[in-house]
Amino acid sequence: MNESGMFQKADNFLDYVIVGAGLYLIYCALSMKITSRIPKSLVSRNIDTDNAPHRDEYISNMFLPSIVLGLILMLCGLSTWALPAMGVAVPEKTPMITSLVAMSLVILFGIFSMNMQKKYLQKD
């Protein structure tokens, strides 16, 4: 396997991870909205989500950003392997750019999520 083939496989793997993360985030958001329970995987370990003081407010404030980020992540991941598979030409730098966009958005979402946890889930 040549060097470019190895990088292509790594790009594809990262795209699959990004799409999977987007799907999982959407699943968690829908699960929160339907069950009114916060998945432990979305909050810090030291937060007791069952006894959180403002759990419903947290869910309502996190629902839309979670859905939007999930969709964006899915689009980022799909743009570099699904479009070429359908015969759509994408620029050579697209995988790098979409991976950077996805990672940047995940970091910003993490900061937003931590602020929402402090505001709504920690006891006063």
Please tell me the distance from the alpha carbon of residue 61 to that of residue 101, in angstroms, as a whole number: 23
Task: Name the packing angle between helices 3-35 and 55-85 (round to 10°).
Answer: 150
pTM of the model: 0.83
- Split into its structural domains, the chain has a count of 1
Whole-Å CA distances, 83 to 26, 40, 76, 88, 96:
22, 34, 11, 5, 15
| Domain around 110 | 3-120
Please tell me the distance from the alpha carbon of residue 87 to that of residue 32, in angstroms, as a whole number: 38
Asked if residues 57 and 118 have their Cβ atoms less than 8 Å apart, the reply is no
Handedness of CA 89, 92, 95, 98 (dihedral sign): negative
Instruction: Render pLDDT for 27-73 as a digit per residue (tens, 0 to 9).
Output: 999 999 999 999 888 888 888 888 888 999 999 999 999 999 999 99
- As given in the structure block, the two tokens for residue 110 are 């993490």
Please tell me the distance from the alpha carbon of residue 36 to that of residue 104, in angstroms, as a whole number: 28
pLDDT given for residue 124 in this prediction: 64
